[in-house]
Structures are given as structure tokens and as C-alpha cells.
Structure 1
Amino acid sequence: MNVHTWLDRLLLWQKFIILSVIALLLASIPTALYLNEAGKSLAAAQSETAGLAPSAAILKVIQNTQQHRGLAALALGGVAGAQEKREAKQREADEAYEKMDAIIRGFHNRAIEQA
């Protein structure tokens, strides 16, 4: 049986259905590839967002440590009132370290906890 005779026998709506199926198949490949890449981008954005809180906590620890170091140098230098400020900053730094410790324990990563 010849292909042309087979196509000639089909009604118009049947030909449109065959063309529609072919078009859907051709469109589905790039759509699937796009959705796959979009999913990767979304996962990366969610991962970055999840890392904001731990990063902010680490930066707060660093900031408090640096400020405490400066106040400790002033207190050792005999600057009036520096000792009280250093003690207050020490408490603030200790709180930041406790928060950071809780975040690290939340990772459940043995290597990070040991470090």
C-alpha cells in the first residue's frame, strides 16, 4: 500500500489529528528540557535562600568578635569605661556563638561539628 493512497483515504479531521500529535511530540522535547533547567535554577535559588540565615549568623559572630577584640585592647590600654563595654560585648558575642552553635548542630554534619 502506498503512503499517498493511505493519506488520501483519511478524512480531513483525521489528518489534523495526526499533525497535532506530531506537533505535540515536537514541542514536548524542548518543553521538557526547559522545565528541567528551570527546576535546576529554582533549586539553586532555594539553596541560596536557605544559606542566608547561617551566613548572617556567621557574620554576626565575626563582627562581635572583632568589636570585642577592639574593646579588649582599649581595656588593656587603661581607657576609662572600656572594661564595662568589653564585658557587655563579651555577653553579646557569647550569645552569637551559642546561636551559631545551634545552627551548626542543625546541619547534622559530623565534620563541621568537629571543626
Structure 2
Amino acid sequence: MNHWIGNLKFSRKFVLIGCIAFAMFLLPTALLMRGTLADIQTALQERRGLAPARELLKLLQLTQQHRGLSASMLGGTESAAAPRQAKQVEVEASFGRAKQALAGLGDSTLGQRLDSIQGDWNTLASGVAGKTLRGADSNRLHVALIERDEMLDLDPSSASA
């Protein structure tokens, strides 16, 4: 092999060295670019999930506030009835905003899970409004609903698993 390289013109030796150097540069650069593009895709996906996550956290907060007002009202504090009703309206509006935000993700499974949670919410809210629930039952059902809402996972890859 030394004989072959030794017979090459000086300019051709530089071309050969340049080709070897380019090949050594190309592989690590390609791997770096592939990793960087994957990181960018992950960041974009996480950014798309911020608005739905914000709405779901607001929904959790409002549901927790409704739980406290419901416990107070069902415990006999009649002055808590109007604030509880106002909080119920806020929770229902928050469900609408959360659905709209989740629709932007394009994952129908998350929307279906939120619909199921909303169905349970409607049952709970009507039970509290009609005072057909005891305070302890209301609290237990609110906690179960909040736990289900916390389990609503915004990662589409794990939702299908």
C-alpha cells in the first residue's frame, strides 16, 4: 500500500487525506445532528403540552376549591351555598377550556378520558347541589375525581400504552 500512495502525485495525496478527514468529520456530525433534531422535537412536543397542562392544573385547583365549599355547605353552613354554586360554574367552564386545549394535541384518547372525568363530575356536582350526598361521601368522591384528573397523562406515547 505504501508503494501505491508513494506513486501518487502530491496533489492527489492531499485529496486522499481530505477525503479521509471528511469521512471522519461526517459520521460524528451526522450523529450530533440526529440527536439535536430529536431534542428539538421533544422540546416542541413539550411546548405543545404546556397549555393543556395549565388548563388541567386550573381544573384541579377549582375542583379542590369546590370540594372545600361543598364540605362546608353539606356540613350545614348555608352561606357556602352561593360560593359553591359559583365554583361549580367555574369548574364546568374549566372543563370546556381543558377540552379545547387537549384538542390541540390531536390525541382523541385524552379527550375521551377527560369526557369520562367530566361525566363523573356532573354526577358529583348534581349530588352536591341536590344535597343527596353526605359531606364525607362528597369529599371521598371529590378526591377520587381529583386523582383521576391527576392521572390524565399528556404524553401521547404513554397514553396509548
Q: TM-score, normalised by structure 1?
A: 0.80
Structure 1 pair 30/81, CA: closer, same or farther in 2 (3 Å)?
same
For 1:45 and 1:99, the matched residues in 2 are separated by 23
The count of corresponding residues between Structure 1 and Structure 2 is: 113
What is the CA RMSD across the aligned residues, in angstroms?
Answer: 2.2
Alpha-carbon displacement from aligned partner over 1:75-99 (angstroms, at most 9, x marks no partner): 2223253122212212211110111
Single out whichever of 44-53 and 22-31 deviates more from structure 2. Answer: 44-53
Change in 2 beyond 3 A, CA 1:108/1:43? closer
Q: How far apart, CA to CA, are the structure 1 residues paired with 2:46 and 2:108?
A: 22
Structure 1 pair 44–110 and aligned structure 2 pair: CA distance change class (3 A): closer
Q: Which has the larger radius of gyration?
A: 1
1:96 matched residue in structure 2: 94
Equivalent in the alignment of 1:74: 72
Q: Summarize the alignment of residues 47-86 of structure 1 with structure 2, pairs less than 5 Å apart.
A: 47-79=45-77, 81-86=79-84
Identity %: 35
What is the aligned partner in structure 1 of residue 40 from structure 2? 42
- Structure 1 residue 114, shift from structure 2 partner: 3.3
One-letter code aligned to 2:58: K
Q: Which runs of 5+ in 2 are unaligned?
A: 114-161
Q: Assess, with a 3 A threshold, how the Cα gap between structure 1 residues 107 and 41 changes in structure 2: closer, same or farther.
A: closer
Cα separation, partners in 2 of 1:45 and 1:104, compared to 1, 3 Å = closer
Task: Give 2:24's aligned residue.
Answer: 26
Q: Is the 8 A contact 2:103 2:111 kept in 1?
A: yes
What is the CA–CA distance in structure 2 between the aligned matches of 1:114 and 1:64, rounded to whole Å? 21
Q: What TM-score, normalized to structure 2?
A: 0.60
Q: Say which structure, 1 or 2, has more relative contact order (CA 8 Å, 6+ apart).
A: 2
